[in-house]
Amino acid sequence: RHRLPHRNPIVDAGRVAAFLERWMADVYTPAHATDTLAPQGIVGAARAGWWRMAAVVPAAAQLRCDLRIGPGQSPRDAWRELDAALDELRHGDDPVDVTTELAVGIPGSATSRDHWVTKAAVAAWEQIAGEPHQFASATSGATDANILRNRGLPTVRIGLPKVHRDGDEVDFAAGMNTVDVGAMELLTRHLVTTAVDVATRPRPEPSS
C-alpha cells in the first residue's frame, strides 16, 4: 500500500454496511411505519477476498441486504430508495464506489380488517381470550403471508407472544425455536376455532 495507489474495498464495504444499518433503522423504518407495521432492514451477508490469501486485496466486496416492505410499496421503489440514500457516500468527502442491484423482490400486500377472514380470526381470538382483540403493532413486514395473498388467497397472521426469561425476550436469541406451552395451547385453540369457522361457512351456489 505504501508504493501504489491503495483502496481496500473491504474497508469501504464496512462503511457501507454501517451506513445502511443506520439508514434502515433511523430513516427507512420511520418513513414507512403504520399503526401495525414497522418495516425492517438488515445487512445480512458480506463476501470479499480469499481466506487463504491474506496478503491480497480484492477488487470488490459484496453485501446482501434484506429490506422489508409494506402494503402498497413495490420492491423496485424500495430498492431505488436504498440506492438513492447511498449517494451520501458516493458524493461525500471520501467517496465510495458503490453500486446496487435488486436480487429478489416480493410485493407487499394486506388483507383488509373488514374482510371476513380477518373478522373470523378476530372473533375466534376474542372467544378464546375472553377480551377485546387489539391488532399487533410494529410488525416487521413482508412475511410468507405475502406469497399467499399475491396469489389471491386472503391471509391473516396469527402468532405467539414472545418468550421471556427474567423479563427479557429470549425466543429470537434461541433461534426462534422456543415457545411458552400455555401460549401454544391458546394458539392451537385459536387456529382450530378459526379454521372451523372458515371451513363451515356456506358457499354461494355456482351459477348455471
175 vs 34, 66, 158, 166, CA distance in Å? Answer: 27, 18, 19, 18
132 vs 117, 123, 124, 129, CA distance in Å? Answer: 17, 9, 11, 8
Average pLDDT taken over every residue of the chain: 90
Question: pLDDT tens across 30-81, in order?
Answer: 999 998 889 999 999 999 999 999 989 999 999 999 999 988 889 999 999 9
Question: For position 104, what pLDDT does the model report?
Answer: 93
Residue 23 has pLDDT above 60, yes or no: yes
